Structure 1
Amino acid sequence: MSERERLSIRAAARMLGVAHVTLMKALDRGRLVESVVRDAAGRTWLDADRLREEWESSRKQLPPRAYQPAVSRETRAAVGQRLAEAIAEEQAFERELLLSLVSDVVVGAAEELRRLGQETTEANLTDALALGPSFDVLGAPALLAMRGLIEDGGPASAERRELARRAGREAVRERLRWKREATHGEA
């Protein structure tokens, strides 16, 4: 066997289109014998030509249902359904928490607008929270801050409500800073 025909286990697995672990299991179970070659250093190599023939003939000898999935279709469906329900429950909890904090974010934004001497109209608040027609979640710092509040978990406590108001105030400051930078960048 020439160096060119000699393959490592990983290279042989690639040639056969299987995972190297699959090929190693076949070697361990004695499915491949004739294609296995050991060099003077004791390393295992596989003869490419013999391997193809031996692989195909040993696969034909396997029982027809040798490759059964580890889990039945019914079990996968039942567990998958339960997992989907758990995800839906988690999303409902997150939505409920978000909605409980929304008014606090708006209150915080209004507090900041008043501190800056601006009116707290719907238009000003919508603009300050970057929720206008060109809405972009990445350009809406209040939404990103609220996402962080949700990831902390737990109910809407007094501390969490204060954090939501702070998020509203910071969102206004961030939006104004962004507008100043955009205006100065165009000039």
Structure 2
Amino acid sequence: MHTMSDESQGHEHENPTADAAPEIDQAADPASAPDPDPVEVLLAELAEMKDQRLRLAAEMENLRRRTAREIKDAKSFAVSGFARDMLQVSDNLQRALAAVPEQAEAAADNGLKSLVEGVELTERAMLSTLERHGVRKLDPMGQKFDPNFHQAMYEVPDPAVVNNTVVEVVQSGYVIGDRVLRPAMVGVAKGGPKEAAPQSDGPNPAAGYDT
């Protein structure tokens, strides 16, 4: 006579799924994943190396330009103090020339004439030397007043001239590179129309230079 426990054990042995081996998920098994294509791997590495090379080349070019600019600035502005001192000498030479009466300069005194010519030659040589080192003389006459490059000393009432136009130059101004070495001392027109005057020498360093 069979007992209930014997029957249940027999049913357990008859269950076909109990002893079945578990199925292996091929997609989850790393060992079963396909190997990467060597060509694609090489192409990816080459693309990354090319990108790195381009970035490095751009950085080196920026460094080269920045270094060249800093060297240029250092050379240009290293003589600023010396150039300011030389401008004072030039001012004294101009004052000496202005102190010579026109009648005496036109006279037949060869000694005085030679002295005046020598002073003029010295001044021109000095300005030429400064110019070779990047110092330029401003010529703001007739241009719009620019506080970045000009210093207004007084106003000149003149309704026929555009307002804020430089009509007199008391003392010449100079720049070194694109920076002001000494602003020009000027007199500006007042009371005229407000139309735009000719472009100032400020925005364009090449304009307004007395060459």
Normalising by structure 1, we get a TM-score of: 0.29
Higher helix fraction: Structure 1 or Structure 2? 1
